[in-house]
A = this chain, B = another copy of it.
């Protein structure tokens, strides 16, 4: 059985909380007992990863402090991950609260439709319209790839 797959459409409630589908809830229960990390992605969605997945993502080289002292770029990167990542626990009713700043980042307004996307290592929460745009981009990329492949085959 695949984990963290598929799509669900659901709503943020009036208080900015989201209720996961039973499938997602059990995936997170298995993976991390509900201890997750919210993380704002550059793509404009909010990702939810099991805590240890996030720690793997952020596994750092040594001498962090020294690098922080000498590199502005490094400091900016740490700032980005620091500011835009936050621990949460999935409640007994399968809900989490999305902090206001994170809702803004993902254009996930209170009482609006959002889409939950499985990404194999966790999930992403997308604004509906943004997700549709992203699907268009994925489709476009795929059809270009296909055409290219077939054209190449016929040339041989």
Chain A positions within 8 Å of B, measured between CB atoms, are 1-2, 4-7, 9, 35, 37, 41-43, 51, 53-54, 56-59, 64-66, 68-69, 72, 75-76, 78-83, 85-87, 99-101, 117-121, 124, 134, 137-139, 141-146, 148, 150, 154
Are the CB atoms of B87 and A5 closer together than 8 Å?
yes
- On whether A4 and B138 interact (CB within 8 A), knowing A56-B66, A66-B57, A119-B75, the answer reads no
- On whether A6 and B79 interact (CB within 8 A), knowing A68-B57, A121-B65, the answer reads no
**Which chain B residue has the least Cβ–Cβ distance from A80?**
B138
The docked-state distance in angstroms from the alpha carbon of A1 to that of B117 is 24
Determine how many copies of this chain the complex contains.
Answer: 2
Contacts of A139 in B (CB 8 A): 42
**Which chain B residue has the least Cβ–Cβ distance from A38?**
B6
Are the CB atoms of B42 and A1 closer together than 8 Å?
no
- On whether A79 and B124 interact (CB within 8 A), knowing A68-B57, A69-B58, the answer reads yes
Contacts of A120 in B (CB 8 A): 64, 78, 81-82
